[in-house]
């Protein structure tokens, strides 16, 4: 495993970009940490701001469990809200703000923030007409 030049913020800070719009760099870093265990993640874009989410097709309870694992806390110690993201996915996105673009991204395993940023730019791109 390669050494990072900057420390990774606490996971409680990283999860904030599931509810608050953030830069792609912030979201890609959080998603990179999530790929330690998760293979499917959700991302939204609105203008130049992004949000991401842990997701599960099993509903609120499995989402609670994977959120607790991401935060490295006991699942009994947290409460999470969830939203229906379509196609059976349940996620942490807190409101009905309609993004300009969104996608479920699938990963084979741990993925760098740089790789996630590049993939997100491709998948969520807006093309000038």
Residue 111 in any domain: the answer is yes
Residue 5 in any domain: the answer is no
Weakly modelled stretches of the chain, pLDDT under 50: 1-3, 128-129
Number of domains in the chain: 1
User: On the CB side of 44, how many CA atoms lie within 13 Å of its CA?
Assistant: 23
CA-CA distance, 85 to 102, in Å (whole number)? 10
Residue 35 in any domain: the answer is yes
Residues β-bridged to residue 86: 89
The three state secondary structure string of 30-41 is: HHHHHCCCCCEE
73 lies in which domain range? 11-123
Summarised one tens digit per residue, pLDDT across range 92-113 is 998 888 999 999 999 999 999 9
Residue 90 in any domain: the answer is yes
Residue 17 in any domain: the answer is yes
Rounded to two decimals, the pTM is 0.89
Residue 129 in any domain: the answer is no
Q: Give residue for tokens 């790929």.
A: 35
Do residues 80 and 19 touch, judged by C-beta distance below 8 A? Answer: no
């Amino acid at each position: 495993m390669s050494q990072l030049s900057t420390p990774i913020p606490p996971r409680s800070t990283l999860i904030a970009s599931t509810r608050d719009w953030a830069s792609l760099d912030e979201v890609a870093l959080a998603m990179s940490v999530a790929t330690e265990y998760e293979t499917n993640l959700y991302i939204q874009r609105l203008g130049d701001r992004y949000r991401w989410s842990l997701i599960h097709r099993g509903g609120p309870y499995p989402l609670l469990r994977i959120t607790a694992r991401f935060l490295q806390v006991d699942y009994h110690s947290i409460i999470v809200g969830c939203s229906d993201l379509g196609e059976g996915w349940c996620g942490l996105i807190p409101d009905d703000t309609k993004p300009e673009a969104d996608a479920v991204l699938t990963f084979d395993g741990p993925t760098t923030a740089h790789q996630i940023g590049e993939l997100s730019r491709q998948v969520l791109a807006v093309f000038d007409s």
